[in-house]
Chain A
Amino acid sequence: MAPAVPRSGDAIFANVERVNAELFTLTYGAIVRQLLTDLEEVEEVNKQLDQMGYNIGIRLIDEFLAKSNVTRCVDFRETAEVIAKVGFKMFLGVTASVTNWDSEGTSCSLILEDNPLVDFVELPDTCQGLYYCNILSGVVRGALEMVSMKTEVTWVRDMLRGDDAFELQVKLLKQVPEEYPYKDDE
């Protein structure tokens, strides 16, 4: 069978079932609101959002790999590009750009110009420490962990906090090769 050609983010997005982004935005808002009411501490909410994102990421990666036909990424640079152009597009309908590479090629930033999570959102003074979009950092971290990359994902810039863009820093900590639970020759 001929190897499948990797599909572009636009092509995949056009082929999946889609829903109104506002429903998505409002549902996310409801989640954040619930967490704030239940947990009260902004730091706890940040952690919970990250955890939820992680739970999503570890499942989302399967769909991503199945639908995108990407071949194994040669290096982390390629990984970041794929996340930004294909990953974000096929799920959120928007693309991100990749910048700020460090000299070793293990850390970069994903810049989101359009962020469907934050439409209509404004952070009140009582929630100033909140990383509203923290679910995204969990998603990226979870997805990458399932393909053997341990990363640290943090928000560098957040428009809800007054910055001029959404910037997510993805740092590759360790590439863990897949371990098999048994040895073939034993």
Chain B
Amino acid sequence: MIGAGKMKQYANVLDKPLSKGRQEVSLSAFAYLFSELVQYNQTQVDNIGDLERRLEDAGYAVGARVLELLCHREKGNRRETRLLGILSFIHSTVWKVLFGKVADSLEKGTEHEDEYMISEKELLGVLDNAGFPAVVTAHFVPVEGQQRPRTTILIKYYEEKQD
């Protein structure tokens, strides 16, 4: 049948070879999709706090998968276990894959020992108004501090008790 030849059938989606990650879609396609995500969630909540939480959950799911994908593809399955290592990984590799460039800066917060900030001057306009944290591991609780024109993603590090 026409068109049926090209896609090879794999018994298991896990057997399919990983693509290089170079494929792209238009920004507007992503924007429309994201807008539907936000609009849908707006119908499910009655206050901003819940909306942010739901969006954050969605972002969390994305972030976890981005981490898996990138660890596998870029780092040969080695995952950073140290805090600074993972922050720098997010700041460069993750940001580059998601947004096409390295994040503008990674700074240590001055107020508390355990705060770091990743700043990005021109975060995709569509992401500005809804906390879309692409951050990841169990250590971090991402909280977004909105400041136009700079979007600061504040990452508070909770020390995990080692038993």
* Interface of A toward B, CB cutoff 8 Å: 13, 16-24, 26-31, 33-35, 38, 48, 52, 55-56, 59-60, 63, 90-93, 97, 99, 111, 113-114, 116, 119-122, 135, 159, 164-165, 167
Contact = CB atoms under 8 A, between A and B. Distances in A.
A91 B32 CA distance: 10
Interface string B115-153: 000000000100000000000000000000000000000
Contacts of A60: 28, 32
Nearest to B60: A30
B33 A18 contact: no
A177 B30 CA distance: 32
B2 A56 contact: no
B20 to A, nearest CB: 11
Contact of A122 (B13, B21, B58, B65): B13
Contact of B32 (A34, A59, A159, A165): A59
Interface string B50-69: 00001001110110011001
A26 B25 contact: no
A55 B7 contact: no
Given A30-B37, A31-B40, A90 B58 contact: no
A20 B98 contact: yes
- Contact-residue bracket for chain B: 35 or more
Given A18-B24, A30-B58, A116-B25, A56 B36 contact: yes
A120 B2 CA distance: 25
A34 B41 contact: yes
B97 interface: yes
Interface of B: 1-4, 6-7, 9, 12-13, 19, 21, 23-30, 32-34, 36-37, 39-41, 44, 54, 57-59, 61-62, 65-66, 69, 97-100, 124
Contacts of A92: 25-26, 29
Contacts of B4: 164-165
Contacts of B13: 120-122
20 contacts: A16-B28, A18-B24, A19-B24, A19-B26, A20-B23, A20-B98, A20-B99, A21-B25, A23-B62, A23-B97, A26-B66, A27-B30, A27-B62, A31-B37, A33-B61, A34-B37, A91-B29, A111-B2, A119-B19, A164-B7
A184 B41 CA distance: 44
A23 B29 CA distance: 11
A24 to B, nearest CB: 5
Identify the 4 closest CB pairs spanning chains A and B, nearest first. A111-B3, A17-B27, A21-B23, A18-B24
Contacts of A24: 25, 29-30, 33
A16 B28 CA distance: 9
Contacts of A52: 36, 40
Contact of A22 (B21, B27, B39, B58): B21
